[in-house]
């Protein structure tokens, strides 16, 4: 994936540390609402939904219909899933594990 030339600057490290400091969904929601516009939060949520649906082997047409995402967005997420920095894969594994645990099953 394309990396910013600023990726390892103090600004970026501070942002990463801020995200890592959040402990609850309420804290995360509050931080995202303060740092992002509603449209940016919507876009982030949509991309994660697209990633989940791609992992569930949905077609681009199904995903576009269900999420409203453009095929360009779906393609970008798909590329990141297969050739990216493994961020989506890490998150998808962790959130699917939480869903399974919350349903009373063990991973």
Q: What is the mean pLDDT of the chain?
A: 89
pLDDT of residue 7: 72
Cα separation, 77 vs 47, in Å, equals: 7
Are residue 53 and residue 98 in the same domain, yes or no? Answer: yes
Cα–Cα distance measured from residue 102 to residue 95, given in angstroms and rounded to the nearest whole number: 10
Using alpha carbons, select from 49, 57, 56 the residue that is nearest to residue 77: 49
62 with 46, same domain?
A: yes
- Take residue 16 and report the two structure tokens written for it: 């990463």
- Return the pLDDT at 2: 53
pLDDT of amino acid 104: 43
Give the pTM: 0.81
pLDDT at site 26: 98
12 φ/ψ angles, rounded to the nearest 5 degrees: -65, -45
Q: Quick one: pLDDT at residue 94?
A: 95
Residue 4: the pLDDT is 62
Count of structural domains, the chain: 2
Domain boundaries, position 19? 1-35
Same-domain pairing of 92 and 55: yes
Residues 15 and 48 in one domain: no
Residue range 84-101: mean pLDDT, rounded: 84
């Amino acid at each position: 994936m394309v990396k910013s030339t600023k990726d390892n600057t103090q600004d970026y490290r501070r942002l990463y540390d801020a995200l890592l400091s959040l402990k609850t969904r309420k804290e995360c929601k509050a931080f995202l609402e303060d740092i992002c516009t509603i449209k940016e939060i919507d876009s982030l949520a949509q991309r994660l939904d697209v990633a989940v649906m791609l992992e569930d082997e949905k077609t681009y047409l199904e995903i576009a219909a269900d999420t409203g995402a453009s095929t360009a967005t779906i393609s970008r997420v798909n590329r990141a899933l297969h050739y990216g920095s493994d961020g989506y894969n890490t998150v998808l594994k962790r959130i699917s594990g939480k869903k399974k645990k919350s349903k009373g099953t063990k991973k």
